[in-house]
Amino acid sequence: MGSGKQEKRSKSSLPNKNPKRKRLPLGPNRPQKKKKKTKTTSHKKKNNNETKNNNHSIVTAAATSAEQLSFFVGQYQSANAIQLSSLELESITGDKCILNLSQGLAQSSNNLGEHMKAAFGSSWREVLCGKQILEGKIDPGNPALLVISLSALRSLELLRGLQALTKECHAAKLFSKHMKVNDQVSFLKNRVNIASGTPSRIKKLIDMEALGLTRLAVIVLDMQTDVKGYSLFTLPQVRDEFWDLYKNYLHPRLVQGDLRICLYGLIPISSEVNKEVTGD
């Protein structure tokens, strides 16, 4: 028995081979190991979102004139519950009605001015920057470029991208937020080359004969979506106001070949849209 006690003592007195290593308690009190965070999940989500966006929308600079026109006419037919006849469709073609932008320049608000310079060609300075009223040629309150967006804030943002063109001849701000109609009517008694606003106020000023369209050559339709994902063509009230404006005042100029449409930003392009428009 004495020898057994000595053996136990000798085992307990043996030095620990790993003195720095702490023994972990067993059972429920055992601490759990921290799981390493992996970036694969977030990476997959990002890829999925990118794939989703790529499947449903493309930059208009990469879309053909025919694709852009198909999208626009499809939106027009859907919003107004009508179907254009083949005869009506013959009067509007992509090459004649759609303004194609440079693919080498992003369609951001900051680049809008550069895109418009290219759109108006060598005459951009005379048309967009001149400040003299020329009787019989350039009447007051008749812009050559009209930018239409879904909100006042977005209108201002796009105007900042056009600042280089509006130093001498200021742009008209055609929206209702913090802007009185009478002040806008007074402003439109001067030469106006560029105007930016929302559909409702633009139509109201045309109805009042304060805003003219005799010089109008390009309309920029802003395709930017708001925080809720709505755009000029999908926000219910604004959408209805835009098509009311378009049917009454803009469509006739488009058919006559006096007006070109610029879809600025991302637009959804699908084969279904093309089928609806072409009837294939």
Of 218, 140, 220, 130, the closest CA to residue 167 belongs to 130
The chain-wide mean pLDDT, for the chain, equals 82
Tell me what pLDDT residue 177 has.
87
Contact 148, 171 (CB under 8 A): no
Residues 145 and 133: their CA atoms lie apart, in Å, by 16
Tell me what pLDDT residue 72 has.
95
Tell me what pLDDT residue 103 has.
84
Per residue in 93-149, pLDDT (tens digit) is 888 999 999 888 999 999 999 999 999 999 999 999 998 887 778 899 999 999 999
- Using the predicted structure, report yes or no on whether residue 250 has a pLDDT greater than 90: yes
273 burial (CB, 10 Å; 0-12 / 13-18 / 19+) is: buried
| For the chain, domain boundaries | 60-278
Half-sphere exposure of 126 (CA within 13 A, CB side): 8
| Ranges 18-32, 199-213, 218-232: which has the least confidence | 18-32
Per residue in 28-87, pLDDT (tens digit) is 555 565 555 555 444 444 444 444 444 444 444 478 899 999 999 999 999 999 898 888
* pLDDT band (50, 70, 90) for residue 173: very high
User: Helix or strand or coil: residue 29?
Assistant: helix
Which residue type is seen at 214? T
Q: What is the DSSP letter of 16?
A: P
* pLDDT band (50, 70, 90) for residue 271: very low
| Ranges 185-189, 192-196, 272-276: which has the least confidence | 272-276
Of 89, 87, 232, the closest CA to residue 147 belongs to 232
Topology of domain 60-278, per CATH?
Rossmann fold (3.40.50)
Task: Give the helix, strand, coil percentages of the chain, each rounded to 5.
Answer: 50, 10, 40
Contact 235, 226 (CB under 8 A): yes
Contact 215, 144 (CB under 8 A): yes
90 burial (CB, 10 Å; 0-12 / 13-18 / 19+) is: exposed
Tell me what pLDDT residue 152 has.
95
First-last CA distance in the chain: 102
Provide CB contacts within 8 A for 144, sequence distance 6+: 120, 127, 128, 193, 194, 215, 216, 217, 218
User: What is each CA distance from 23 to 13, 18, 31, 34, in whole angstroms?
Assistant: 17, 10, 11, 18
Residue 144 is encoded by which pair of tokens? 């050559």
Residues 223 and 267: their CA atoms lie apart, in Å, by 7
Tell me what pLDDT residue 25 has.
56
pTM: 0.75
